[in-house]
Structure 1
Amino acid sequence: MESNKEIISDLNSLVTILNDGKQGYESAAETTNSLELKAVFGKYALERAAYATELKAHIKQHGGNEDDNESGGVLGAIHRGWLDVKHAVTGNSDASLLEAIETGEKSAIEKYDGYIADYTDHADHLALLKKQRDGIQKDLQQLQSLKAQNA
């Protein structure tokens, strides 16, 4: 079983990913002219914020400070910057924007999968992580559908 320090570190890593996603969706909503995509991106930004809040409650249960991680990580900032550049270069194509977001969501799912595999001894986290991972997977499927429509 992992120590509280390791659990807190793992959960903070996921909070960082969720904050990256939230900020990425907010940026995407500002970038697109599509009202449909603005609504979808806004919904997903709120969802990522809610997921982060849930994880922060678990961080606190394990003795961590839930307010330590409010911003995204460096890699997320790089990805958002790349997303902005790609969007500008491709002539503001919603399909390109959705493709870049898809990449971020696939990375988030991979991270969740890794922690889910490591959390067999932590029932309190396993259910939450699976729920959030499944939510991100569902969102990814909708994004892929929207991307096909905008191709």
Structure 2
Amino acid sequence: MKTKEEVSDKVSELIEKNIDSYNGFVKASEKAQDMPLRDYLIDQAEERKFFAADLSNELKNYNSEIEIDTQGTLSASFRQSWLDIKALLGGNSDKSILEECIRADRASADEYAKFIKDYSSASPEIVSLIEKQSQRIVNNLDNQARLKDILS
């Protein structure tokens, strides 16, 4: 059984990941040329912002003493810089933007799956919320694959 601190740390990581995703989707939407793709990316950004807020609220209920970081991670800064570099080199097509979003969401899906596997003894509210968010990310990956086919 994981300690309260271990669960809190892992949920905090998921919050940071969602903040990273929010920032990444916003950046991608600014670079997208296709309006339906841009709208989709903005919707995804908003969803990740809600994911982070919901996780933050649930974490505060679980562990009222925790300080929640809302800045995102250093790896996200590199990913966003990668989008900027790609744009300078001419690789800023809607397809390449979507490919980067898919890569990031696959990483998120993996982190969520790892939490569900390794932290199943966390509070039922946290586990349930993470399972629901995980399913949304997996569904979004399916949508992104279809969008990629359309953009090809």
TM-score, normalized by length of structure 1? 0.92
Counterpart Cα distance in 2 of 1:133 and 1:65: 26
Q: Which amino acid aligns with 1:143?
A: Q
Counterpart Cα distance in 2 of 1:142 and 1:60: 32
Alpha-carbon shift at residue 98 of structure 1 (Å): 0.6
1:51-70 counterparts in 2 under 5 A? 51-64=51-64, 68-70=68-70
Cα distance change of structure 1 residues 31 and 94 upon mapping to structure 2, 3 Å threshold: same
Contact 1:29 1:37 in 2 (8 A): yes
Report the 3-state secondary structure (helix = DSSP H, G, I; strand = E; otherwise coil) of the residue aligned with 1:92: coil
How many residue pairs align between the two structures?
Answer: 151
Report the 3-state secondary structure (helix = DSSP H, G, I; strand = E; otherwise coil) of the residue aligned with 1:95: helix
Q: Deviation per CA, 1:43-81: give whole Å up to 9, x if none.
A: 000100101111101211222467632121001111121
Contact 1:116 1:129 in 2 (8 A): yes
Q: Which runs of 4+ in 1 moved over 6 A?
A: none
What corresponds to 2:5 in structure 1? 5
1:4-83 counterparts in 2 under 5 A? 4-64=4-64, 68-83=68-83
Report the 3-state secondary structure (helix = DSSP H, G, I; strand = E; otherwise coil) of the residue aligned with 1:121: coil
What corresponds to 1:115 in structure 2? 115
Q: Which amino acid aligns with 2:150?
A: Q
Counterpart Cα distance in 2 of 1:90 and 1:24: 19
Percent sequence identity is 25
Alpha-carbon shift at residue 115 of structure 1 (Å): 0.4
What is the CA RMSD across the aligned residues, in angstroms? 1.6
Alpha-carbon shift at residue 86 of structure 1 (Å): 2.1
Counterpart Cα distance in 1 of 2:64 and 2:7: 9
Contact 1:26 1:41 in 2 (8 A): yes
Contact 1:102 1:143 in 2 (8 A): yes
> Structure 2: where are the runs of 5+ without partners?
none
TM-score, normalized by length of structure 2? 0.92
